[in-house]
Amino acid sequence: MSEFLQYTVIGIVAGAVYAITATGLVVTYTTTGIFNFAQGAVGMVAAFAFWQLWQGWGWNPVLALALVLLVLMPLLAVLVEWGLMRRLHGASTERSLMVTLGLLLILVGVATALWNPQTQRIVYPFFEGDFVGILGVNVSYQQLLTVGAAVVIAVAVPYFLRVFRIGVAMRAVVDDPDLVALAGAKPYRVAQMGWMLGFFLAGLAGCLLAPTVASTGLNIDTLTILVVNGYAAAVVGRLRSLPWTFAGAMALGLAGAYSLAYLSEHVPQSLAAQIPEIVPVVFLFIALLVVPAVRLRAIGRLPTHAAPRVAGFRQSLLGGAVLVIAVALLSLVLGGSLMAAITSGLALGIVALSLVLLTGYGGQVSLCQMTFLGVGAFTMGKVANGGGSWWGLLAAVGVTGALGAFVALPALRLRGLYLALATLAFGEAAFYVLFQNPSYLGTGNSIAVGRLDIPGLRTVGDKGELIEIAVFFALCAIIVLAVRRHTFGRRLVAMNDSPAAFATLGMSATRTKVVVFALAAAMAGLGGVLYGGAQGGLNGSDVQLEFLSSLTLLLFVAIWGLRTTTGALLGGLSATLLPFAQTQLPSGLSGLTGLVAGVGIILLGRSPEGVLGFPGLSGRIRLPFADDPPPSVRPPAAAGSGSDVASSVEEGRIGVA
């Protein structure tokens, strides 16, 4: 009984931290209409800033906490709202998702630049060594403080949003800023209040969580990724009900504690170590399964910008040939780590092409494409016994295609944000169950992956492999453009623009979604075979297999142009060349990826079609491959301005219940 109570206390404390994080997510979503994927990164920055003031500079801990929560977090919220989020009112889920993902990378980059990840930093409990006995269990004052803060927030925040005038205005501004303005309020000020409250809660969660990792010290990636637990709790509340969000957080905390206590004895040892990471993503996936199916949108988005031109077959062939020739000439002067980075970038470009097909054309947001990359490389390594085999390539494409069709099953009833969260949950579960499990990858948690044996290219070594992957990229890009010109491609675009009209015309959204998920997964699996061959194998600890890498790749493709094959090429190269460039800079100049992401999402806020469709550049850029950038057009005069007419309200954005 004593052990049960101890784990119950652990679960309640963990649930309290999840509840504070999830409440911030729900409040931000309810008051701004934007799901902040960077919520964990905000809490991470708050935790490091708290350490800096308290442990680094010797400030009083109460004063340091007050400065972080009441000054730093509100200022950061105002800056983010003014610089990044103000143009996103009414924008599509995909576009707002990209901006918050970019914010995540910016904050991670800033934190990496300010606080060297190699240095251990420990935030000690506020009341170190002080305990109170409850039912025979010693409960620390730190734990009581965490639970008490969560209970106060669970009661105070809904009351504030329902009763106070500013709280009501915060809920109203997301639906109709003009109506709020007629009532005498300034919509952007009200929106800033929503961001300030969300950032305050994220910072509080980060500062309360920091002492619980005292044994290992603060870690940028760990604190950022822990927000996945908050996603699960927020989904239980359907992104609108704060009481249900609190209940979901507590249930998740208790489920994690009890699983660690009693389930770890009945599963393989290699899997038992991953239980704390697996339980939240399983919880999230189950919560998504019980979310009511999204209703079809009755109208499509008003055309505020033109779609990219689709290259014809002859132009695609010419562009592919030019690309291969350019890469072949480039290989004559390249060498070493730079050529390796470009080789890997072209392989990731094939994965990026799968995103163009799935998300750019079909509107199905996937945050697990790098998981398919890992499965493709894993299948190749198993079938070819660590070597290069065309049978292994075919097997990898077939396995990942079938897996993509399986992942598409939730997409039959989910859309937008909920679909993105479902694919994120699948990617995280696969990372811990498959890639972090030595039972699958064997000794050293790695598997060898060989290069394909192509006559004439094998003999020239790394240069031949670079040309080989360029050929595969060109072929995949030609296929993607051919799909877009085909009837199936037009169906994808129609389904993205207006699902209701798509169904009214008698077309099957179910079959279309399953097919496009399978095609995109198979293409990502092919990219995984080539990427694994370029790396010489698959390592389960490779950061490319984590869900943050899927987010990063999707963001880079969106920055360049999510509906263009040129955007896929540049996005894949960006994902590898930026880390390479980072290694060439002095150690004090870190955070390059975050800086580029920041510039990119600012451009994305002004040009939904990415850099290739940016006003002033559109029509001037003519890269040698495949498609042209879209022309810039002005929105219809009667429709209003900019993002205010981008799309109808997505699922779940209803208010606080």
Mark which of 252, 271, 289 sits at the end of a domain: 289
Which of 286, 293, 288, 262 minimizes the C-alpha distance to 275?
262
Q: Which residues of the chain are under the pLDDT cut of 70?
A: 1, 89-91, 129, 135-136, 174-185, 213-216, 266-272, 291-308, 411, 442-444, 455-461, 541-545, 585-592, 594, 605-606, 614-657
Looking at the structure, tell me whether residues 391 and 493 fall in a common domain. yes
For residue 549, being part of any structural domain is answered with: yes
Q: DSSP readout, 70-91? A: IIIHHHHHHHHIIIIIGGGTT-
Note the pTM of the prediction, 2 decimals: 0.84
> Which of 254, 269, 289 delimits the end of a domain?
289
Report yes or no on 298 lying in a domain: no
* 144 and 223, same domain (yes or no): yes
Q: Cβ contacts of residue 157 below 8 Å, gap of 6+?
A: 23, 27, 197, 201, 242
Q: How far apart are CA 106 and CA 559, in angstroms?
A: 14
| Residue at 307 is within a domain | no
Listed residue (409, 421, 419, 406) closest to 372, CA to CA: 406
Q: Which secondary-structure segment (H or E) carries 133?
A: strand 131-134
DSSP string, 158-176: HHHHHHSHHHHHHHHHTT-
Query: For the chain, how many structural domains are there in total?
Result: 2
Q: Is 144 helix (H, G, I), strand (E, B) or coil?
A: helix
Q: Considering the domain boundaries, does residue 192 fall inside one?
A: yes
Per-residue DSSP letters for 167-232?
HHHHHHHTT-HHHHHHTT--HHHHHHHHHHHHHHHHHHHHHHHGGGGTTT---HHHHHHTHHHHHH
Q: Does residue 653 belong to any structural domain of this protein?
A: no
Distances (CA, A) of 371 to 118, 218, 374, 398: 28, 27, 5, 15
On whether both 277 and 155 belong to a single domain, the answer is yes
Question: What are the beta bridge partners of residue 138?
Answer: 133
Inside any domain, residue 635: yes
| Residue 295 within a domain | no
The torsion of the CA quartet 631, 636, 641, 644, rounded to 10 degrees, works out to -100
| 415 and 281 together in one domain | no
Domain co-membership, 349 together with 447: yes
Q: Are 467 and 327 in contact (CB under 8 A)?
A: yes
Same structural domain, 538 and 626: yes
Look up residue 347 and give its amino acid. Answer: A
Looking at residue 141, its pLDDT comes to 82
Taking the mean position of all CA atoms in its chain, how far away is CA 389? 33
- CB count within 10 Å of CB 617 equals 14
Cβ-Cβ contacts under 8 Å for 53 (sequence gap 6 or more): 59, 63, 64, 67, 68
DSSP 8-state secondary structure symbol assigned to residue 513 = H
148 contacts 629 by C-beta, under 8 angstroms = no
Q: Residue 602: is it exposed, middle or buried by C-beta count within 10 angstroms (0-12/13-18/19+)?
A: middle
**40 lies in the same domain as 161:** yes
Question: 274, 289, 304 — which closes off a domain?
Answer: 289
Same domain? 615 vs 477: yes
137-140 and 537-539 as β-strands: parallel, antiparallel, unpaired?
A: unpaired
Residues 285 and 344 in one domain: no
- Domain carrying residue 37: 2-117+124-289
- What pLDDT is stored for residue 89 in this prediction? 66
543 and 482 belong to one structural domain? yes
Residue 173 and residue 181: Cα distance in Å, rounded?
9
Do 331 and 466 contact (CB within 8 A), yes or no? yes
For residues 361 and 177, what is the distance between their CA atoms, to the nearest angstrom?
31
Verify that 573 and 480 share a domain, yes or no: yes
- DSSP annotation string for 572-606: HHHHHHHHHHHHHS-TTS--HHHHHHHHHHHHHHH
What was the pLDDT predicted at 193?
Answer: 87
| 17 and 86 assigned to the same domain | yes
In a domain, 326, yes or no: no
Q: Residues in the chain, how many?
A: 657
Q: How far apart are CA 217 and CA 124, in angstroms?
A: 10
CATH number at residue 370: 1.10.3470
CA 200 to chain centre: 22
The amino acid at 452: L
Looking at residue 518, what is its pLDDT? Answer: 94
Query: Vertex 514, ends 509 and 518: CA angle to 5°?
Result: 150
pLDDT at position 333 is: 86
